[in-house]
Chains A and B, each alone.
Chain A
Amino acid sequence: MPDSVSEFQESHGLYDLAVIGAGSAGLAGAVAAAELGLSVALLDTSTHTGGQFYRHPAPAVGAVRPEALHHDWSAYSDLRRRLAESEVRHLPGHHVWSVTRGEEDGDFWAVHAVTGADGDGERPVRVRARAVLLATGAYERQLPFPGWTLPGVVGAGGAQAMLKSGLVLPGRKVVVAGSGPLLLAVASSLAAAGARVPAVVEASGYLRYARHPRALVTNPHKAVEALTHGAALLRHRVRVRVRSAVTEVHGTDRVEAVTVTRLDRDWRPVRGTGRRIECDALAVGHGLVPQIELATALGCTTRSLPDGTRALALDDLQGTSVRGLWAAGEAGGVGGVQLAYTEGELAGVAIAAQVLGSPVHGGRVRELKRRRGRMRAFADAMATVHAPGPGWPRWLRDDTDVCRCEEVTAGRIHEAVEDLGARDARTVKLLTRAGMGWCQGRMCGAAVACLASRGGTAEPPLERRPFATPVPLAALAALDAPVVDEPRDPS
């Protein structure tokens, strides 16, 4: 490490880089930057690295073959090894709730976190760094339908997460529904783990990918992935129904069956096509939403994606519109694990160059950029294919809860839009409390925005939240004297 950097650190107690999120993008970025000589802090809510994609059981579970539930486990184990060999300071169980500009001597960032399994605050922690890499990933997009609050209805990603980390299933007979490639992965892991999967219900049609031949041809690994899942589903005799949706869940205390209905091209249910499928759980999800609130709170520019979600707008080296703040992986648009690695590494290299004041190494960066461009094109095609059709609100009933936290029904949102003139998610929220509960609109935001647009193009929710995670009052009170995590004395 050059003298100037270590001297700076010693006098300021700063990391060169704080990486938020230890999933594929964050790991790749942290390791790449550390290998180039930066002091790096890597913060993550979980106890283990790997993020959602490489979620795996705690060591006490003694899984001999964790890779049985994963795709490309070796890529992750390789990064994990490099992390262990590096000087990166891994801070697990750190829930970052805000990032602010340092006040005293200018050019640094303060990352504020609370610790504990669910952030139920053992102590507030502040990490100061010259640059921040946001690798915060995504969460699942949900569209409501009658019965979706019944126990036994779980997120498709949620079912996958609980299976990968806790080795448990939500039921024995699980229908998988929604839209997007994640459904195939979820169905094949549920089936491999012993669940019966009577059907995968996809609202779009896979043939629509054929309209994006370039993206397909330049991303052959995506086709291989799809074939692998497809073969697994065949082996487990899972039927895939396209252009269909679960339009109702039956049961009183928990799921007993679902109704699957054909959809027209706009995702409007086709009358008289409903068929009942017996099951005891439903795993459902309609794609992923980039998690960007730490960045929007700082005023970073965003861009709309073809599926109506919002991601961070990034330059060709992964920089956000705010200097010193970078992003990689799903925060810049959902595109899968390989894209996350590529962007993470690119960001790590670019940040190191900036902090060290050295030029970015040409050949490597060019290759990373090329790979990123190719995979981003596929991500855009994917978002277009699986974008919710405008007709989905037709499967709602007036008494269907749209906001799960505040129990706001479709009827009340309808009223706010039709009678009270609400035109956007924010106004609906003020009139009905939809999106004001614990999850701050993460579950209902996409649906409310769509309902407010009355069938027009929905303005994606702004993803603005004052706190990225709930913070105990005690943690705010202790802000004056938080535990400050500083890089170790480099000597």
Chain B
Amino acid sequence: MARTPADLVGAQPDPPFPVTFDGRTVTALHGQSVAAALWGAGILAWRTTRNGGRPRGAFCGIGQCYDCLATINGEPNRRACLVPARPGDAITTQEGHGRAGLGV
């Protein structure tokens, strides 16, 4: 029984589109967040921590934990679980501070 989430809800999505993750092409669906697109491609980590340089990805999935921060089209510190994926997005691993200030 090779059921998928898409089968379960009878999804008939618009055609998928490409985005890149660290230069490699990944397919996303319209309406998916960047984090969901990455999970869909089996990618669970897209950030390294500031002190230990350890890999992290989405944890809370609802915008609370900030573990999913990614650099999207050159802009660091975006919460990948909230930002929708758009055709042609270039997502890159965010290292440490992500270069930009916190904004708070």
Q: Which residues of A approach B to under 8 Å, CB–CB?
A: 45, 47, 52, 57-66, 68-69, 117-120, 139-140, 149, 151-155, 157-163, 165-170, 192-194, 253-254, 281, 404-407, 437-439, 442-443, 467, 470-473
Contact = CB atoms under 8 A, between A and B. Distances in A.
B44 interface: yes
B65 A442 contact: yes
25 contacts: A45-B63, A47-B84, A59-B31, A64-B12, A65-B8, A117-B83, A118-B83, A154-B58, A155-B60, A155-B65, A159-B61, A161-B62, A162-B35, A162-B36, A166-B40, A192-B3, A193-B3, A193-B4, A194-B4, A281-B44, A439-B64, A443-B64, A471-B104, A473-B103, A473-B104
A194 B65 contact: no
B27 to A, nearest CB: 12
Q: How large is the interface on B (under 10, 10 to 19, 20 to 34, 35 or more residues)?
A: 35 or more
A167 B9 CA distance: 9
Contact of B5 (A140, A152, A158, A163): A163
Contact of B11 (A64, A120, A155, A158): A64
Interface of B: 1-14, 29-33, 35-37, 39-40, 44-45, 49-52, 54-67, 69, 75, 77-79, 81-84, 101-104
Given A45-B82, A62-B14, A154 B7 contact: no
A439 B66 contact: yes
A442 B56 contact: no
A470 B59 CA distance: 18
Contacts of A467: 104
Given A149-B56, A443-B60, A69 B83 contact: no
B40 A168 contact: yes
B83 A61 contact: no
Contact of B35 (A58, A139, A166): A166
Contacts of A153: 59
B32 A65 contact: no
Nearest to B64: A139
A253 B60 contact: no
